[in-house]
Amino acid sequence: MRLSLNGVANILLTASAVAVAAAAVRKNSTTSRARDSSPANSAPRYIADWQDIAAQGHLIGDAAAPVKVMEFADLECPYCRQFHEQYVRDFGRNSKDVALIYVHYPLRMHRFARPAARVSFLTSLIQAFSPA
């Protein structure tokens, strides 16, 4: 039995489609298992030294503001960016009612988040100690 060029191409395309579908199914099942065991789905945890963590954060706004929002953010995270942009739009940097405590919390899944947090922290230190 002799296969034509079209027959061989059809077999290769079918085998490729099956391989891609199998890889997609495997990826989705692995992702859902990882999602099920994530800390976000576990019970909340009380952190006794949260005030020490807040002291390490960067205060944006009035220190005497009656409401302080503590944001644990990743500089590479698009959702953190959306929240921060919305906060600035709603309250601005000169709000007397709400202040933001920004704490760097780089996520492992973001490749450049940790170096960006280090650079941001060093930049804020330089600005704090440089003459106005």
Alpha helices by DSSP H, 57-95: 78-91
Averaged pLDDT for residues 92-113: 85
Distance CA(2)–CA(7), nearest Å, equals 10
Higher pLDDT, residue 52 or 111: 111
pLDDT for residue 1 is more than 60: no
Is residue 71 within 8 Å of residue 84, measured between CB atoms? yes
Averaged pLDDT for residues 18-24: 62
**pTM tops 0.85, yes or no:** no
Query: Could you tell me the pLDDT band of residue 82, with boundaries at 50, 70 and 90?
Result: very high
Rounded percentage of the chain residues whose pLDDT exceeds 90: 2
What does each C-alpha distance from 73 to 2, 5, 27, 110, 115 come to in angstroms?
63, 56, 27, 12, 14
Is residue 63 within 8 Å of residue 31, measured between CB atoms? no
